[in-house]
Structure 1
Amino acid sequence: MLVTETSLRKFTTGIFLAMGCSTEHAELATNVLLLADLRGIDSHGVARLTGYVRLWEKQRINARPNIQIVHQTPTTATVDGDAGLGLVVAPFAMELAIEKARQYGSGWVAIRNSNHFGIAGYHALMAVEQDMIGYALTNASPLVVPTFSNERMLGTNPICYGFPAGKYPPVIIDMATSAAANGKLEIAQRSGKTVPEGWIQAKDGGYTTDPFALKSGGGLLPLGSDREHGSHKGFGLAAAVDILSGVLSGANYGPWVPPFVAFLEPPTDPVGAGIGHFVGAMRIDGFRPAGEFKDHMDNWISRFKSASRVNEEQGVIIPGEPEFEAEADRRANGIPLVDAVVDDLNEVARKLKVSPLAP
């Protein structure tokens, strides 16, 4: 089903309003989800919407949070999200980081007591739009096994850097620290496809291509898949994200991070509050004039784009480039949604007495 941005925005905002969100928060949460769909990151767009509703029904998401700054210095802060939507809590924290950066050159904010915050790229782009370098991390439900383990201890723990450019789109490095994001497994499950070898480890430690393997005790593998291909590096990156997002903020970390799915209960022995994030903003003109930096970013991009090719038909892809191309296409031609997602969305809409999704 192809859906226009306008139709999907109206529907999604209506769901958040039906949950009890304020108009401001409903519109902000919708912006975060829709940017994922527009940029072709279907695993983190409206396909996640029903998950938020189910957590709200379980009273694990607070639709009217009192988001507070609980500790701060001129350049740093810790924010408590009051169990609110991460789609709302993380932008609040990034606005705070940006304001600190305006005054002091950089701002760094740790967040606790939050929930899933959508794509990390949304939050980094907030800083990029202010001629700043943006940084966004989050920990997540424990689905990833450390190198040499078969126990799920870490989330997919994405990391994102955003760098503004001049005539080119910004460079956005937004990636999971696991071999694949869990959302890609969900897409494979809905479409009845297997996944590539090296994404998942079965309970016995062997590779599997079954996207349902996590339900039988398997785990996602760190970036690199195995030690011979550098999985210890993916594990190290995921650990850094977990420490900055969870240990530093006072959120849960490691195997104590609450699951995103409503049918699984959070651990009974939490070590912190909710899910954790970490965001930052750095003023470019704290290092050199922003115009000079962006000119050189354009030069960096154009030089990499002109690198010699292994295959003449496939050039170097700059981080963030496919997403910007997808955004231009989907704004003009509509956003594709698979039938299973549409059915799930309309079932939740029926329960909440919201009009069904229209093309």
Structure 2
Amino acid sequence: MIFHTFTEQKLRQFTESVFLKMGCPVTDAQLAADVLLKSDLRGIDSHGVARLSGYVRLWEKERINAKPDVKVVHETATTATVDGDAGLGLVVAPFAMKVAIEKARIYGSGWVAVKNSNHFGIAGYHALMAVEQDMIGISMTNASPLVAPTYANERLLGTNPMCYAFPAGKYPPLVVDMATAAAANGKLEIAQRANQPIPEGWVQDKDGNSSTSAHQLKDGGSLLPLGSDKDHGSHKGYGLSATVDILSAVLSGANYGPWVPPFVAFLEPSANPVGEGIGHFFGAMRIDGFRPADDFKQHLDNWIERFKSAKTVDPNKKVIIPGEPEYAFEQERKIQGIPLIDVVVNDLNELAVKLGIERL
């Protein structure tokens, strides 16, 4: 693999240009670019600028509305449902989290379900918005059906990520951001670009047999839930994924299970949808609704320090705090730049030529 390194600003300008060419308003283009760049900065390369071509293809298929009328369509004092009007999830999701944060600011907590949206980037971006307000942030979304439930050989669930983010004191926020599948589909895409095998336990073939081929999904296979298989706790990942699907879509009126529209443009959405678009779910809770925020942060710092000092099997390794590696990536890449493999760079430059913007 050959890596090319770009400054954050260079990639940000390029990404904004792509969204502007799609017809997004300037503020939306800037916000969408910020969400994608946050992913690349935090080392989650599968959900960053490498996804740009996917968004453009969906827009070309008229499955993404570049100028949506995002609005609250149902609410109580502490809850709301947002209609994303088929807009970029990168824009719809921050709108919804802001609604949750504002409700939490007034009432202590806010909960928002979203329908009629699209892929929203990394869940961590949206949960961290609440952390900035001394709140606990919760973010989740359903996704294209690629995952087979425990014992099944049929794609019925997405990778359905969930994120919980907590503000600390002298340490970076503690961020639990994970797919509820054994691996996110983006990790398979990275392996495909690098022409490398994947670990056993991530996918099964169309007959339900374990496979290490990163191309298995194209051949009718499926991802496995967190826990890999029935002998290693996959029912837990299945249960978590089901929870995300229900909160994100059954609650909001979005499509759920096998009816969730695919992210890839060459696959058509269900001809008989059960809802509207993709669904998300967000929560924000004021810490001072439970105890003084400074007290909480002090004790979370203490929690972090105790876990970091845990005895380990290998003396050369330490317990990793959730969100710690991503924070380290962000600090490094803001200075050293963001590396992209040549396959991604070539794809982005082809996109630039097609849209008539400056190449990377």
TM range (shorter): over 0.9
Amino acid at match of 1:113: N
Q: Give the counterpart of 2:242 among 214, 239, 244.
A: 239
Secondary structure of 2:231's partner? helix
Q: Give a deviation string over 1:301-331, Cα, whole Å, max 9, x none.
A: 0000001111111000000000000001100
**Cα distance between partner residues in 1 of 2:356 and 2:22:** 11
Secondary structure of 1:178's partner? coil
Q: Give the counterpart of 2:138 among 135, 140, 143.
A: 135
**Which residue is equivalent to 1:197?**
200
Offset at 1:351? 1.1
**Cα distance between partner residues in 2 of 1:321 and 1:49:** 27
How many pairs are equivalent?
357
**Cα distance between partner residues in 2 of 1:167 and 1:23:** 36
**Which residue is equivalent to 1:65?**
68
Amino acid at match of 1:228: D
Offset at 1:75? 0.1
Q: Give a deviation string over 1:192-221, Cα, whole Å, max 9, x none.
A: 000000000111111000000111110000
Q: Give a deviation string over 1:130-182, Cα, whole Å, max 9, x none.
A: 00000001000000000000000000000100000000001000000000000
- Kindly report structure 1 stretches of 4+ aligned residues shifted beyond 2 Å: none
Secondary structure of 1:69's partner? strand
Q: Give the counterpart of 1:48 among 45, 48, 51.
A: 51
1:147 aligns with 2:184: no
**Cα distance between partner residues in 2 of 1:17 and 1:198:** 40
Offset at 1:348? 1.1
Q: Give a deviation string over 1:108-130, Cα, whole Å, max 9, x none.
A: 00000000000000000000010
**Cα distance between partner residues in 1 of 2:218 and 2:37:** 29
**Which residue is equivalent to 2:190?**
187
**Cα distance between partner residues in 1 of 2:72 and 2:185:** 31
User: Pairwise CA RMSD of aligned residues?
Assistant: 0.4
**Which residue is equivalent to 2:352?**
349
**Which residue is equivalent to 1:209?**
212
**Which residue is equivalent to 2:125?**
122
**Cα distance between partner residues in 1 of 2:246 and 2:308:** 35
**Cα distance between partner residues in 2 of 1:145 and 1:349:** 36
**Which residue is equivalent to 1:253?**
256
**Which residue is equivalent to 1:12?**
15
1:280 aligns with 2:283: yes
Secondary structure of 2:298's partner? helix
Per mean C-alpha deviation after superposition, the further-off stretch among 344-353 and 242-251 is 344-353
**Which residue is equivalent to 1:302?**
305
**Cα distance between partner residues in 1 of 2:170 and 2:106:** 27
Q: How do 1:86-125 and structure 2 match up within 5 A?
A: 86-125=89-128
Offset at 1:68? 1.0
Q: How do 1:68-87 and structure 2 match up within 5 A?
A: 68-87=71-90
**Which residue is equivalent to 1:262?**
265
Q: Give a deviation string over 1:216-262, Cα, whole Å, max 9, x none.
A: 11000000011111000000000000000010000000000000000
TM-score under structure 2 length normalisation: 0.99
